[in-house]
Amino acid sequence: MTAPAEARRQARFVAVLMPESEKLLDDRLYYGPMLQGLNDGLMERHLFMRPVPCLHEYQREHFLHSNPRFYCGAVFMGPVYSFEYFIRAVAQNVAGPKVMLDHHLEDPPIHSVREDAVAGMRMLTAHLLSLGHRHIAYLDNERLDANPWKRQGVDEGLRAAGLPGLERGWSAGCRMNFGDTDTALDWFLGLEPRPTAVVCADDFRALFMLQAAAERGLRVPQDISIAGFGDLAVRAKRSHRLTSVGVDPTLLGRRAAELVAGSENDPPVAALISPELFVRGTTGALGSG
């Protein structure tokens, strides 16, 4: 048996590549449970997770120039998606299956696992439409490539109801802070006709939006409905009223473990985990309550 073949036979470690390993491992709401699901799924298959920080270029180069045959597969955590050259190099030099977890790339052709954000936002948009809302705005991430599927879901939901999709000005990029959200609400309120509902890319932007609405004397949901995505605000005990869409993140981790434990010759799978709609008190018909 050749040395590389022997190394592959002995390897039982999966490299889990992430920008800041301690930050993600300590996250109790999303990435932490996702990594726990990944670890549990790997352990059930007698594999071991090895977190590898790759935020800085020297860390990425060190990994590529270390012994890649030590690993029998690799998992890229979502925030790594922007390091395209690094993902390509790992795909070429590390043995075994590779999985992009919490994101998707068309190239290189590797497995991916993510929540079905398109379906989730379609459900959320359909819920608002069922309440009579026809003018719905979308508060996006500051990086539009971070999750284009959420915007796509809102747009598809509107078009499925025979309405125009998200037209120019009805979607606003926003950093995760109150100042940007406050300005975005001002922008939305200046549109004609004025939006009666705002869908936010995540729960924490939705919480900022709720604060901005309260400072303007707007009643939620009587004057404006506000919804988030992720259902993390309730898990974090930051709100018990926020309507949101969510997926158990441990399910994403377990599906990634299943794929990375498979054969290197399996065709790429783009796995989507179905979300659930949680209707609460921040959405309703105009004038309700």
Domains annotated for the chain, with CATH where assigned, are 3-115+248-275 (3.40.50.2300), 117-246 (3.40.50.2300)
**Closest among 228, 235, 277 to 120, alpha carbons compared:** 277
Average pLDDT over residues 56-73: 89
What are the pLDDT digits (tens) for 219-273? 999 999 999 999 999 988 999 999 999 999 999 999 999 999 999 889 999 999 9
For residue 104, which of 127, 121, 87, 122 has the smallest C-alpha distance?
87
CB 48 within 8 A of CB 40: no
CA–CA dist 40, 30 (Å, integer): 16
What is the per-residue pLDDT for 289?
56
Q: Is 182 helix (H, G, I), strand (E, B) or coil?
A: helix
pLDDT digit string, tens, across residues 42-59 = 999 999 999 999 999 999
Which H helix or E strand runs over 199? strand 197-200
Q: What is the pLDDT of residues 126-142, one digit of tens each?
A: 999 999 999 999 999 99
| Short-list 247, 216, 215, CA closest to 231 | 247
* pLDDT tens string 181-193: 999 999 999 999 9
Mean pLDDT, to the nearest integer, of 60-66? 91
Cis peptide before 221 (omega within 30 of 0): yes
Q: How confident is the model over 84-131, as pLDDT tens digits? A: 999 999 999 899 999 999 999 988 999 999 999 999 999 999 999 999
Return the pLDDT at 87: 95
**H runs (alpha helix) in 161-261:** 178-189, 203-215, 232-235, 249-260
d(CA 24, CA 76): 12
Phi, psi at residue 280, to the nearest 5°? -135, -155
Model pTM score: 0.90
Q: Which of 253, 249, 272, 248 is nearest to 51 (CA)?
A: 253
User: Distance between CA atoms of 1 and 279, rounded to whole angstroms?
Assistant: 59
Token pair recorded at residue 40: 């549990």
